[in-house]
Structure 1
C-alpha cells in the first residue's frame, strides 16, 4: 500500500504510520534540510526501505496521476495559498476510490469577521504561524468538494477533548513539562537569551525571535479561549470511483 504524507516535515508521523501499518509512505516536502534529516531518522530506525521523500511544492506535485492508495496531511495544507489548488493536487495523485484524511487549522463557526477582536486574533495567528489566510471549517469542506472529493466525515476533534487543547500553552500553575510557557519560564528564558546575545554566545536577533514566538503562542491561546480557532479540524474524504464506460 502506497501512502502520501503531504507536507511531512522531518517525518515523525510518517515513520510511526509506516511502522504501525507496514505501508510504504512517501513524504512530500520542499525543504532540503528537512528531507535530509528525515532520511537520517528513517535509517536510524530501520525504515529506509518503506519510507522515502519527494521534494516538491504541494501546489504542483512532481508525482504522476493516480499514484497513491491513500493520502493524509497533518497541519500542513493550512499553509497553502489556495485550498482548492492543494486539494486538487492531492485528488489528482490519489487512485479512484481512495481516501484522504487531514487535520487542519481552521476558524470555527464562532468567528465573526465583523468583530474587531476576532479580526485582531486572526491576524496574529496568521502572522505568528505563517498562515496566508485562515479558512473556516465550512470553507475547507467546500474547497474539498470543489476539488472533486466526497466528504465522508468532518469534525472538530477539539470538541471531543475533556480539556482545552490550548491548556499546555497556557498552564495555570508551575509545571516542569510546560515550564517554558509559564510567566516565570518566559521571563527566565528571555533573560538568558538577552545575556547570551550580549556575550555573543547566541546569534543576534535570538531574543527578538523568542518574543515573536511567544506572541504566536499567545494568539493560539486567545483564539482557543474565544472559541474561534481550532487546530484539530479532522476531515475524511474520498476520491470517487471513475465512471465505468457504458457497455456497447
Structure 2
C-alpha cells in the first residue's frame, strides 16, 4: 500500500502555502494574524486571482495530515446516534446521494473530489460512475491508489483540473455534486455556469458547503442545513476537542481523534514542538502550521457552537429541461 505521505513532503510545502498568508514572505515562522484577519481588498483580490495555486498549495500541505488524523473523507457530518464520526460520514454520504438524486448507471461529476472518499462511498453503494475533479495533483495520485485498492477503479476516476474551466464537453454528465469545495471559488457563479454547461438538460446538481446562517429560513423547503440532523452529539464536537462526547461512544472509536483537538493536548503539543524547534529537530514553520490548523478548526467549532455557521448547507438544484427557462 502506498504511503499517505508524499515522497517529497518537506519544508518547501510549508513555505509555499504559508507565504500566501503573510506580509513578510521571508519569514513564515510566525502566524501573521493581521494578514489573515484584516487583509486589505488588494490582498484579497490577489489571493482570489491565485485561487488555484493557493488551494493546491494548501492541500499539498494538509492532505497527508487530514488522512492521518481524520480519514479519507474530508468533510463534516451530522452525527448519527450510535455511530462513530467515520461511520456517520459514510452514512451521511449515502443520505446525500439520495438527496442529490443520484442513481445507478449515471455518469456523475464530483467537483473538488479530494482523495475520493465520498465518491467511493457513493459509487460502491449505487453502482454509478463518478468522475472527480480536483486542482491538486497529489489528490489524484493518492486517491487513484486508494480507489484501486478498494476495487472501484472501474467506477471512480479522479482528474486534475480547474472547476472554473471544466475539461469536459457540453451536456456530458447526468448529475453533479460538490462537498465542501465551492466555497473556495473566487466567484461561485462562474462555477455554476460551468456546471450548467456540462450537465444534460433536466439533470440535478447538489452542493454541501460552508455557509453563514443569518438568512437561513427553516420554512423554505429548498434550503437544508444538515447540521440540524446531528444527534445527540453536535456535529462540531470533533474540531471542538470535546472529549466528553468522544468518551460517551461505546468502544471510544473517536477518542484519540478528538483528544488531539482538546485544548490541554494542544498546549502540551505546542511546548513539545517549540522544544523540537529549539533543538533543531524540526523547522520553525511547523509551529506556524500547527497554529494555522488550530486556528481553522477552533473557528469552525466556535461558529457552530454560536449557531452562526454551518459546514453542511445543502442546496438541490436542477438544470432546466428542454423548453424550460
Indicate the residue corresponding to 2:115 in structure 1.
10
Q: 1:209 aligns with which of 267, 280, 289?
A: 289
Aligned position for 1:161: 230
DSSP 3-state at the match of 1:92:
helix
**2:123, 2:156 within 8 Å by CA — same for their partners in 1?**
yes
CA contact (8 A) 2:223 2:315 kept: yes
Q: Could you tell me whether the CA contact under 8 Å between 1:152 and 1:236 is conserved in 2?
A: no
Output the CA distance in 1 between the equivalents of 2:111 and 2:161: 10
Q: d(CA) in 1 for partners of 2:263 and 2:112? A: 33
**Which runs of 5 or more structure 1 residues have no equivalent in the other structure?**
111-136, 139-150
Q: Which runs of 4+ in 1 moved over 6 A?
A: none
Quick one: distance in 2 between partners of 1:23 and 1:201?
A: 48
**In structure 2, C-alpha distance between the alignment counterparts of 1:103 and 1:21, rounded to whole Å:** 19
State the partner residue of 1:190: 270
User: 1:152: Cα distance to partner?
Assistant: 7.8
Matched position secondary structure for 2:195: helix
Mapping 1:1-248, distance limit 5 Å? 1-109=106-214, 153-162=222-231, 163-173=233-243, 176-177=255-256, 178-243=258-323
Q: Which residue of 2 aligns with 1:113?
A: none
The alpha carbon displacement at 1:172 in A equals 4.3
66-75 or 200-209, which deviates more: 200-209
User: Which has the larger share of strand?
Assistant: 1
Give the secondary-structure state (helix, strand or coil) at the position aligned to 1:166: helix
- Contact 2:108–2:131 under 8 Å retained in 1: yes
For 2:243 and 2:161, the matched residues in 1 are separated by: 43
Do 2:110 and 2:130's aligned partners in 1 also have CA atoms closer than 8 Å?
yes
What's the CA shift for 1:51? 1.1
Q: What residue ranges of structure 2 are gaps of 5+ in the alignment?
A: 1-105, 247-254
1:171 offset after TM fit, Å? Answer: 3.9
Q: CA deviation at 1:153?
A: 2.9
Q: TM-score, normalised by structure 2?
A: 0.59
What CA deviation, in whole Å up to 9, does each residue of 1:20-49 have, x standing for no partner?
111111001111111111111111111112
- The aligned counterpart of 1:147 is none
Report the aligned-residue RMSD.
Answer: 2.1
Contact 1:156 1:234 in 2 (8 A): yes
* Rounded Cα–Cα distance in structure 2 between residues aligned with 1:40 and 1:238: 33
Deviations 1:164-216 (A, max 9, x none): 32222224446533101112210122223223333333333101110121111
* TM-score, length-scaled by structure 1: 0.76
Could you say which residue in structure 1 is the equivalent of 2:77? none
Structure 1 residue aligned with 2:70: none
Number of residue pairs matched by the alignment = 206
